[in-house]
Amino acid sequence: MEISERSLQEQICEIGQRAVRYGLVKAISGNISARLPGADRFWITATGTALDALTPDDLVCVDLNGHVCGGSHPPSSEHQLHLAIYQRRPEINAVVHLHPPLATVVGTALGEVRPMTFEGNYFLGDVAVVPPILPGTQEVAQAAAEASDGSRVLVLQHHGSVCLGEDLEEALYRSIELEETCRLIVIARAIGAEVYLPGWAVERMRGHRYREGT
């Protein structure tokens, strides 16, 4: 069913509230964007907005040339990251950038995030880890966009996560599963174990993941 831009704005606000409830972001950090399928513009949270208190008035419209075309506030300082992904991945309609604590720690400390469960592999696939780059820069935007060629789930070291989807629900589901996977990794290491999904299982599940297609 087709939705209106107003409905899309309301969905962004709802996803922001849910992300905070799930403990994936605190205070005024993180940013969320979405566009209607095939649209040449996207709506993104404004700079300095709290995701658990979003209203449609807190959103800014940016076109695929990077020009602000709607809203009354400056866009998030990470709007270049969202823009670069939309430019590179035309099938992506939602980008959720959060600061989940465990995913940030695991991706930064270990340099990788490997699923431990069948469910994690199903929803996440291959997780890309992007080296430390100053937030809000064209450099981090370009690095994230390039990393998205092979994954819809990214961890930015010392920064947070970026999850992509064909819609907002998919991007949020990936964010939740990423944090749960990293929680299991932390628990396993706390008891002195290093347990990942066996290689044969990863290979057999290729082509049978949630919305496969990276």
**Catalytic center residues:** 78
Confidence bin at 208 (pLDDT 50/70/90): confident
Distance between CA atoms of residues 130 and 140, nearest Å: 9
The 10s digit of each residue's pLDDT in 51-77 is 999 999 999 999 999 999 998 899 999
The dihedral formed by the CA atoms of 146, 147, 152 and 157, expressed in degrees to the nearest 10: -130
| pLDDT for the residue 115 | 93
One-letter amino acid for residue 73 of the chain: H
The CATH number given to 5-205 is: 3.40.225.10
The 10s digit of each residue's pLDDT in 147-164 is 999 999 999 999 999 999
> What is the pTM (predicted TM-score) of this model?
0.95
| pLDDT for the residue 111 | 98
Alpha helical stretches, state H, the chain: 5-21, 79-88, 101-110, 118-124, 138-147, 168-190, 199-205
Tokens of 98: 């959060």
**Angle between helix 138-147 and helix 79-88 axes, rounded to 10 deg:** 40
Tell me the torsion sign for CA atoms 14, 166, 100, 58: negative
Confidence bin at 207 (pLDDT 50/70/90): confident
Residues constituting the chain: 214
The 10s digit of each residue's pLDDT in 30-59 is 999 999 999 999 999 999 999 999 999 999
Where along the chain do its domains lie? 5-205
| pLDDT for the residue 212 | 63
